[in-house]
Amino acid sequence: MKKLIYILLISAFLFNCNTTKQTASKKDERLENVKENDTVKIANEELEYEIIIIEPGFNFWVASRARPRGFYSQQYLENRNFQYVLEWNQRVLQPQQYNPQLYEMQINYQQNIDYGYEVNYLLYNYFIYFQMTYNQRLGPWMPRI
């Protein structure tokens, strides 16, 4: 009887020590694919604008940490983006005070143009990502998700 118990205990131990295979969910696979592509390009030929965001980890961050589309209103995003762009452009013009490797070029964002929800959503999230990643503050409020 003791041998049977020992065999059962050893079998249970060996069974539990076996490495388990992780089954990746579709969301995990999608997030892994997003990590590989770090360039976001948004273009609208009718309005003749183009936004290209080349930032390692940004796509992954938007997919995994940003608030979902529809969480903020377009008006909220436009107001925040306009304020962020003003501060960003001021920093581009002051390379002696702000790191020119962070603030390389100005952003031509006009408040009277309707860029649509998707552009405003991605631009807003880029500003949040940028501030959190590089420990910068582009407005009077703390960047948060």
pLDDT digits (tens, 9 = 90+) for 91-108: 999 999 999 999 999 998
The tokens of 136 are what? Answer: 């910068």
pLDDT digits (tens, 9 = 90+) for 12-63: 444 444 444 454 566 566 555 555 566 777 666 666 677 787 888 888 988 9
Is 87 among the domain residues? yes
Residue written as token pair 């407005």: 139
* Of 43, 44, 124, the residue nearest 78 (C-alpha): 124
Parallel, antiparallel or unpaired: strands 39-44 and 49-54:
antiparallel
Is 142 among the domain residues? no
Is 57 among the domain residues? yes
CB within 8 Å of 75: residues ≥ 6 apart: none
pLDDT digits (tens, 9 = 90+) for 101-138: 999 999 989 888 888 898 999 999 999 999 999 999 99
pLDDT digits (tens, 9 = 90+) for 71-84: 999 999 999 999 99
Domain containing 106 equals 23-134
Is 8 among the domain residues? no
Domain count, the chain: 1
117 φψ region: left (φ > 0), alpha (ψ -120 to 50), beta (else): alpha
